[in-house]
Amino acid sequence: MSTLRNRVQLIGNLGNDPEIINLESGKKLAKFSLATNDSYINKKGDRVTNTEWHNIIAWGKTAEIVENYLNKGKEVIVVGKLTYNQYENEKGEKKYFTQIQVNELQMLGGK
């Protein structure tokens, strides 16, 4: 059950081509944004679609798969965990951001 404590599963489309970073250590990192859509019918009977954007990161072999097979618009399922990070901007202000670190990736749709 401990693997269920911090688990996220999303189905969506890449918002951009992945950014691939080759680190000095030899590790590979892939970063991309993922759009998920949620639709509902409002009181007027109109369909309303909300899009949420998620920051995704993948390491190692998964990053290699992302580099070789994914591009903007591709539909995927990602399973991973939430990670919270911070940095200090040029004004000395702390900024916080959330990412999903991928453990599993599945490509959907055709070639």
pLDDT digits (tens, 9 = 90+) for 4-56: 789 999 999 999 999 999 999 989 999 999 999 999 999 999 999 999 999 99
* pLDDT at residue 21, as a whole number: 96
Residue 25 DSSP label:
T
Token code pair at residue 62: 């998964």
Mean pLDDT of 59-70: 95
pLDDT one-digit tens code per residue, 72-85: 999 999 999 999 99
Determine the pLDDT at residue 109.
77
Supply the pLDDT for residue 111.
Answer: 59
Q: What is the pTM of this model?
A: 0.83
CA dihedral of 67, 71, 76, 81, whole degrees rounded to 10: 50
All domains in the chain, ordered by first residue: 2-107 (2.40.50.140)
**C-alpha span between 20 and 58 (Å, rounded):** 10
